[in-house]
Structure 1
């Protein structure tokens, strides 16, 4: 018997005596399979599946910094005599984040939206959170008066346009119909925790679209109406808007009536120039005061996701009673979108 046979026999005998079995061997646990993020193309680009679910998520937003000019608009206390001092310029920076979650249901797409805004004053704000399904929007979102026309000259929206609402929108081919019930929680006409209703009629045909909205503020029993028409004309897009209100309300309080227009000219693939103007009739519903505003906005797409925008505007009332009856405003902005 050689040495090799002796060693093998001894090992076999030892295993038999100790009762060792193959099942007793130490086996390393296999690592769990990782579930990688999958692209979701059911709702367009930019969506991905939340791991372990059939819900698609999209994250976007922007980072914006700008220098704003507004004559004698920015106040600060003098550190020596505690008097209020006014300046013309103010640097501002803001971050904006949008989160959108979608999934298919028997009622169509179910969507949840969350918009968050943070600025250099260290404020973080909820700028919208709502649910959309089967044409209904329910939650905290901007109303139709927040929509405007091209450029940064017009002022055709409410002082406040973000509130808790329930809204239904029907889209049938070129026609859009909508109705909304809105909580008017705070306004400059002292409406508090009141209710308003709005209706919308829209129509699009070719390069022309028209939208009419009407709103009623139950707190002051007043109504406001606005129409916007846009059309592709020549090298750009022409927009015209008109507003009429029976008296000041949550929805409109700047003037009894107003008209505005802008023309967005696509000068190059990257440069858009938009002159604009607006006329206010019976400012603050005072028949002795009218006003007009004119300006121009230029936007340049530096590269994908990065653009700059500059605007300058002049406002003038037909009286010299107040400090804001004649003034220049504007800003220079740099924005990174993602």
Structure 2
């Protein structure tokens, strides 16, 4: 058989094969319908359903730029640690993202929270931390979260909280729209301790608070089992005239992880709503037997440390929706130590 005859025969066979199956052309599968994100309004604004689940997720956070001033300025970076600086001013930037997941269970809403934060003192000095992570259901919360001792007045003058307020904790809190009460067990490994000892603390804390009309209040207590000392604090706010009057007092039986600034302290502030966007808050605080350092290596007693007083003013201004500015200036005068003036300016964009 010649090459020409072979080629002609192959071509004819191929044509016949193609004609026989021309009606069975390959058809692409229909694309699956896209499940668009659905708004979840069961837990407030900002939540959406995670596709394919009945879990609602909210993503929020903020970007902060801050410049502080004061002798050998050090910036607090979220979990109580600081970024030291040898000059009298320092700038730092913070980025924080919070993920909140909620779903219904037979025990009530099940909540999971993760807060990621990065603080940058400069391009090469940055601290990325897990700022919070906890599970919350039926009033029980377990994980890494801020204690009631992190609460305070709205200004930036008061010093009535713990040195470190972020703990691995287990707590129960009963709450209604007008009242709450709770008890927590806190791991205080990063708390304060006396000279010659180490941090291996466990704490028991409680809080009772609520609101009644124009008045809100909170009473907080804590006992540091390692230092065998505790502290108790009361604070309240009431609407008066064009602003809100805030009062607080704290007493500590001895230096401990819940309060070690002083044996006792009292503070008053008045937050003036100058306009719907501008708030001005002058404040004054007095310390009895002022230690001040709020760090490890505390003395075993406050006796003989001398007193101190502090005055300051904080200005808050809303520049635009979700864009805020804050400035504060404070003066501290201790009996045993040099007086000092500190302050900062902050820009923050929330989302």
What band does the TM-score fall into relative to the shorter chain? 0.7 to 0.9
What CA distance in whole angstroms lies between the structure 1 residues aligned with 2:17 and 2:253? 102
Distance 1:222 1:17, change over 3 A: closer
Question: What root-mean-square deviation, in Å, do the aligned CA atoms of Structure 1 and Structure 2 show?
Answer: 2.1
Deviation at 1:88, TM superposition (A): 0.7
For residues 137-191 of structure 1, give each alpha carbon's deviation from its aligned partner in whole angstroms, at most 9, with x where no partner exists.
1000011100010111111100011110011111145331110011111222155
TM-score (norm 1): 0.88
Partner of 2:242: 235
Partner of 1:337: 350
Distance 1:191 1:278, change over 3 A: farther
What CA distance in whole angstroms lies between the structure 1 residues aligned with 2:34 and 2:147? 43
What CA distance in whole angstroms lies between the structure 1 residues aligned with 2:150 and 2:303? 25
Contact 1:74 1:88 in 2 (8 A): no
Partner of 1:200: 207
> Which runs of 4 or more aligned residues in structure 1 lie more than 3 Å from their structure 2 counterparts after TM superposition?
14-22, 72-75
Partner of 1:249: 256
Partner of 2:340: 327
Gaps of 5+ in 2: 1-14, 76-83, 292-301
What CA distance in whole angstroms lies between the structure 2 residues aligned with 1:337 and 1:240? 28
Distance 1:29 1:170, change over 3 A: same
Gaps of 5+ in 1: 1-13, 76-83
Q: 1:298 aligns with which of 310, 315, 330?
A: 315
Partner of 1:226: 233
Q: 2:280 aligns with which of 273, 285, 288?
A: 273
What CA distance in whole angstroms lies between the structure 1 residues aligned with 2:18 and 2:115? 71
Deviation at 1:209, TM superposition (A): 1.5
| 3-state SS in 2 of match to 1:86 | coil
Aligned length: 312
Kindly indicate which of the two structures has a greater share of residues assigned to strand: 1
For residues 255-299 of structure 1, give each alpha carbon's deviation from its aligned partner in whole angstroms, at most 9, with x where no partner exists.
110001111111001101111111100112143510011100001
Contact 1:171 1:177 in 2 (8 A): yes
Partner of 1:92: 92
Partner of 1:178: 182
